[in-house]
């Protein structure tokens, strides 16, 4: 597997934006929130694009290591959004829609990059994230 080619293909895949546009439409976001969510999505995709552009000289191992860093960052962000959303639901009866949609989008992106990470590496970092999440 050539991870750089896979990343380029992922970024150029219009389905990532189709998914985004679908959740915007389904949730009838106003123009302001729609722009916020689109900007959020673009910043996430830019981190992958930066990895590709910066890493042209990287080995596959270097690229995977950097992809693991992005996965860890995104997973932490997803954990944060879910915790906030869950507590808002429990204590206030509702969660901020934009926060829920960001959580949904980042989860979608995570699912797209996970197949590019070797399974044994993914299992290790997943276990680390779970141990951090539930340590308190």
State the residue range of the domain holding 52.
3-133
Q: How far apart are CA 88 and CA 91, in angstroms?
A: 5
- Kindly report the pTM of this predicted structure: 0.88
Local confidence pLDDT in tens for the 136 residues of the chain: 588 788 888 887 777 788 888 999 999 889 999 999 999 999 998 888 888 888 677 888 888 999 999 999 999 999 999 999 999 999 999 999 999 999 999 999 999 999 999 999 999 999 998 888 777 5
Buried-exposed string 54-68: b where 16+ CB fall within 10 A, e elsewhere? ebeebeeeebbebbb
**What stretches of 1-136 show up as alpha helix (H) in DSSP?**
3-12, 15-26, 31-54, 60-92, 97-113, 119-133
Q: How far apart are CA 34 and CA 39, in angstroms?
A: 9
Token digits for 70? 């992005």
Q: How many CB atoms lie within 10 A of CB 13?
A: 12
In the chain, the number of structural domains is 1
Q: What is the dihedral of CA 95, 97, 100, 102, to 10 degrees?
A: -140
What one-character DSSP code corresponds to residue 114? Answer: G
């Amino acid at each position: 597997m050539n991870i750089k080619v896979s990343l380029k293909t992922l970024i150029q895949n219009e389905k990532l934006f189709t998914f985004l546009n679908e959740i915007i439409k389904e949730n009838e976001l106003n123009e302001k929130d729609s722009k916020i969510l689109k900007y959020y999505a673009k910043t996430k995709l830019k981190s992958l694009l930066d990895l590709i552009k910066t890493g042209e000289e990287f080995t596959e191992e270097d690229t995977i290591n950097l992809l693991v860093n992005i996965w860890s960052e995104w997973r932490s962000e997803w954990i944060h959004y879910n915790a906030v959303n869950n507590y808002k639901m429990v204590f206030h009866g509702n969660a901020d829609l934009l926060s829920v949609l960001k959580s949904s989008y980042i989860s979608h992106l995570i699912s797209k990059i996970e197949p590019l990470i070797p399974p044994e590496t993914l299992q290790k970092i997943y276990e680390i994230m779970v141990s951090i999440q539930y340590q308190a």
